[in-house]
Amino acid sequence: MTIPCDILVFGGTGDLALHKLLPALYHLYREARLHNAVRIISLARRHLSRNDYVKLAERHCRAQIARQDFDEDVWQRFSARLDYFPMDAAQSADFGRLARYLGEPGGLTRIYYLATAPKLFVPIANHLRIAGLADSEARIVLEKPIGHSLASATAINEAIGEVFAESHVFRIDHYLGKETVQNLMALRFANALLEPVWRNSQVDHVQISVCETLGVENRGAYYDRAGATRDMLQNHLLQLLCLVAMEPPAQFEAEAVRDEKVKILRALRPITGQDVQDTTVRGQYGAGKIGGQEVPAYYFEKDVDNDSDTETFVAVQAHVENWRWAGVPFYLRTGKRMARRSSQIVIQFKPVPHELFSGGQVNQLLIQLQPDEHISLRMMTKSPGKGMRLAPVELDLNLAQAFAQTRRWEAYERLLLDVLEGDSTLFMRRDEVEAAWAWVDPILQGWAEHFQAPRPYPAGSNGPEQANSLLARQGTHWHS
């Protein structure tokens, strides 16, 4: 059971709080993972009574939680721990009211979850300090993105660091809470079969793709300022690259793991100036069909400028310049309104030195993160019948089937529990965030300097054709 605490969720009426955080906390409560003294207090500008908020929370939780997991009795006990406090996070005076409402901590640890726009991170932290609500035991959770550039990320980190100790700052990337992402470390560091071949002598290239069929939905105003590079590449994709490429930590401990991830980010070959023309591709979706339904072009989406040049797709050829990975290209790709929803990592091994049989070679390790979580090793075997005709087969680990009797935890359940237990292993450290921005900033600058406009691609496709040329030059293609 975790520590006694107050969990205060800023942005408590938003989608993140209602669709992810509250269902995750419900599951933790249902499994007796929350201390008996835990209170969950949602904070937002809407003027709601506590009863109205509990009804709102119940409606959304029922929609998000599987029917067999929603227990009426458990919900009644859980909802008794919910409270609501209307306030404006931008107004310092409201934090004085909040302090009076909360009273003295009385041995409770206060955890502040900022499910808000990033521009509010620093004001909220400062208001908490002024109101005396940021004592030495308090913890703060920040959603990505942390800033929009290296300079802005550094400014946010410095301001937050003046209020909260680094060990009490949890920068959350929900991808790191996915079961299959964590299995990357188990796969690499607990299996003698793979470690000897996890290096440039045996690996031809690596592909990391996060493709979505959704458009910008109700995030147009934010997304049009951010784009795919800031929204996905700087955090999700680079975090996955780190887990694929990092060296084994001396021990499975937060600082040791994060030290190794920072080394990878600092080993990335810079992409500067005209390099962007050969190693990156920007794209923006046009009108098309998704699942048989017509969808509009990006520039016709709600809250998006009609002449926007924001990228909704980005592909990058990256290189990790160290002993293990020298010469191995890492292809990173993410896009909206793609043909299918899929997040996957492909480790393409080199062919055998001498090909004895016809039929080609596969030799791939495929790690699927969504929509289904599974790991498969694609190998060549003989087809039945006369002769030595080869065909690919899969050695497949379906995690849902392998652990069919165990409920699959959602990413936010695991990450919230880690916050409550003070475990920072799956969270980004300050120098991680800044090292990622230090690599991404020159790419953004190169696009601006060389007027690299987004390449159009129809919604429901696999992205702009130019993205295929990144791999075609190496004699390969994107895995589908």
For the annotated binding site, the residues are 45, 144, 174, 178, 212, 231, 336
Based on the number of CB atoms within 10 Å of its own CB, is 352 exposed (0-12), middle (13-18) or buried (19 or more)?
A: exposed
DSSP conformation class of 194: T
- What's the start-to-end Cα distance of the chain, in Å? 43
In angstroms, rounded to a whole number, what is the distance separating the alpha carbons of residues 131 and 92? 8
Question: What distance in Å separates the CA atoms of residue 143 and residue 226, rounded to the nearest whole number?
Answer: 15
Burial degree of 60 (CB within 10 A; 0-12, 13-18, 19+): middle
Q: How far is CA 94 from the centre of its chain?
A: 32
Is there a contact between 123 and 140 (Cβ–Cβ < 8 Å)?
A: no
Please report, for residues 203, 208, 247, 355, 407, the alpha-carbon distance to residue 198 in angstroms, rounded to integers and kept in the order given.
7, 16, 10, 22, 31
The CA–CA distances, whole Å, from 113 to 11, 21, 339, 454, 459 equal 9, 10, 34, 35, 35
Annotated binding site for substrate: 174, 178, 212, 231, 336
Say if residues 70 and 22 touch (Cβ distance below 8 Å). Answer: no
Cα–Cα distance, 395 to 239 (Å, whole number): 26
User: Which tokens belong to 132?
Assistant: 């005396």
**180: closest CA among 23, 394, 425, 372?**
372
Q: How far is CA 211 from CA 219, 327, 334, 467, in A?
A: 17, 26, 5, 13
What is the total residue count of the chain?
Answer: 480
For residue 376, the cross-strand partners are 366, 396
User: Is 236 considered catalytic here?
Assistant: yes
Determine the residue type at 196.
P
Contact predicate 295/337, CB 8 Å: yes
Binding-site residue ranges for NADP(+)? 45, 144
DSSP 172-186: E-GGGGSHHHHHHHH
Token code pair at residue 316: 């990058």
**Contact (CB, 8 A) for 345 and 317:** no
Given 27, 127, 236, 374, the catalytic residue: 236
> What residues are annotated to the active site?
236
